[in-house]
Structure 1
Amino acid sequence: MPEIGRVVKVLRGKDEGSYAVIVQVLDDRFVLVADGDKRRFDQSKKKNVLHLLMQPVVSHEVADSMRETGRVTNAKLRYAIQKAVQGKGE
């Protein structure tokens, strides 16, 4: 189930194969994702959840920041993705 702060792998589109973090859940089909690098928070991408592979990692730093301020820094997004990818051993 998509939730704010969950790390995802993009399966379709221009960003295919890259990792991102869900920054907003729009409805049961669409979410906004950002990676803090090529896809910054201010220009997050609307993605269909069917085109995303949900990873078992949820970044609590990102979720807490979104809950408290409604924003998250790009550095936090990059850190969350880096931590998730290193944890998988890739």
Structure 2
Amino acid sequence: MLIASIAELFFWFFWEFLLSFILYTTGAIVLRFISFGRVRKPLFMPSIFSNEKRLAKNDFFSAYVSGFFFYLILLAFIIWIG
């Protein structure tokens, strides 16, 4: 039971601080690149990212999804080449 709680805490920490920041930042850059600069999602420093994410939950979703699909397509491309 204790090991499961520690594993869940580690996963939450990993997702909340590292993966969500990376997916959002990548998605914001991809959206800006694909739309030729018309869609501008703000880029945040890691220290203020979690505070800003809590304030504007709905605004962050499109950047998350874009970042996730970017890495998914990149992974599929690498598997296809290799």
- Length-normalised TM-score, structure 2: 0.29
Query: Higher Cα Rg: structure 1 or 2?
Result: 2
State the structure with bigger RCO (CA 8 A, min sep 6), 1 or 2: 2
- Length-normalised TM-score, structure 1: 0.28
- The structure that is helix-richer by fraction is 2
- The structure that is strand-richer by fraction is 1
